[in-house]
């Protein structure tokens, strides 16, 4: 079965680490440009096709300018092939201009260490089927990226009810609308798929400048729970931390980004 994300990141290898992709508007944000998590998935997918290891461990991406719907090339370079961890960089290029640059570390989850210390448990919330369907409050087509996912929340966000709370934090279940199982590719896209919690202070439109994702396990889930927090908004820039947990209460991924709010 073909899935929406896999179709959207499909690439044609051209040799020498170059991959031709077709950027789609189906993952656009409120800014009418492709979502940063989708761009991350494009770059990560290309890197994994070149990698000496099967799994993504981390990705750190800087966005130079918005991507545009249409053809693009991704240029992947091996920086270091290691025994446990290998490193690559990748650049998304459109019309001769560099759009985004990523540094990606890869490894093999079947060849990791054994040390564990996890004092920070998953937030305690009802299961998705017992939560409110937040997707029903978002008009279809208003923000294309939000149509790619289903959202269930234990408490519907205040801004969606027309009552912004001023508290820039949320807990929300998320799954691909086509019920694609979560893997590192989808987890990376999901990290940036939640409406910015700055909507609770009246600012929904936000553009990512830099985003880092750390993957913590091979997921085995369809729904993922996102804990999203913005701690500081300064001079129009805001941070956003995301923890992504599976249905069994295990940490899947952690993300941190710096973004800029649209003003006016």
Q: What is the mean pLDDT of residues 174-188?
A: 97
pLDDT in tens, 61-103: 999 999 999 999 999 999 999 999 999 999 999 999 999 999 9
Q: At what angle do helices 184-191 and 36-50 cross, to 10 degrees?
A: 150
Average pLDDT, the chain: 95
- Give the predicted TM-score (pTM) of the model: 0.95
Are the C-beta atoms of 236 and 193 separated by less than 8 Å? no
Instruction: For residue 175, give the nearest of 149, 147, 145 by alpha carbon.
Output: 149
- Could you tell me the pLDDT band of residue 32, with boundaries at 50, 70 and 90? confident
- Could you tell me the pLDDT band of residue 226, with boundaries at 50, 70 and 90? very high
Q: What is the mean pLDDT of residues 44-62?
A: 97
Phi, psi for 134 (deg, rounded to 5): -70, -25
Q: Is residue 112 pLDDT above 70, yes or no?
A: yes
pLDDT in tens, 150-161: 999 999 899 988
* Confidence (pLDDT) at 135: 81
Q: Is residue 44 pLDDT above 90, yes or no?
A: yes
The sign of the dihedral angle between the CA atoms of 205, 91, 64, 58 is: positive
- Could you tell me the pLDDT band of residue 264, with boundaries at 50, 70 and 90? low
Percent of the chain scored above 70 by pLDDT?
99
Q: Please give the residue that has the higher pLDDT: either 171 or 140.
A: 171
* Confidence (pLDDT) at 138: 74
Are the C-beta atoms of 9 and 183 separated by less than 8 Å? no
Distance CA 206, CA 126 (A): 29
Q: What is the mean pLDDT of residues 17-40?
A: 94
């Amino acid at each position: 079965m073909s899935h929406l994300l896999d179709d959207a990141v499909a690439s044609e290898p051209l040799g020498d680490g170059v991959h031709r992709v077709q950027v789609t508007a189906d993952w656009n944000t409120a800014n009418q440009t492709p979502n940063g998590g989708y761009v991350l998935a494009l770059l990560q997918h290309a890197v994994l096709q070149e990698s000496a290891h099967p799994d993504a461990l981390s990705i750190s991406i800087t966005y130079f300018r918005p991507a545009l719907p249409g053809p693009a090339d991704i240029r992947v370079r091996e920086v270091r092939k290691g025994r446990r961890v290998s490193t690559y960089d990748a650049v998304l290029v459109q019309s001769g201009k560099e759009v985004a640059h990523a540094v990606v570390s890869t490894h093999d989850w079947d060849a990791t260490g054994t040390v564990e210390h996890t004092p920070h448990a998953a937030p305690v919330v009802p299961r998705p089927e017992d939560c409110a369907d937040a997707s029903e409050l978002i008009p279809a087509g208003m923000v294309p990226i939000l149509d790619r996912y289903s959202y269930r929340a234990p408490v519907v966000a205040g801004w969606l009810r027309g009552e912004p709370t001023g508290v820039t934090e949320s807990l929300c279940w998320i799954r691909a609308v086509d019920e694609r199982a979560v893997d590192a590719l989808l987890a990376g896209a999901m990290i940036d798929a939640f409406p910015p919690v700055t909507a609770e202070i009246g600012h929904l439109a936000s553009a990512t400048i830099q985003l880092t994702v750390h993957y913590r396990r091979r997921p085995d889930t369809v729904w993922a729970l996102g804990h999203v927090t913005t701690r500081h908004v300064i001079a129009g820039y805001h941070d956003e931390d995301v923890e992504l947990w599976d249905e069994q209460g295990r940490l899947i991924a952690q993300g941190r980004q710096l973004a800029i709010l649209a003003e006016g």
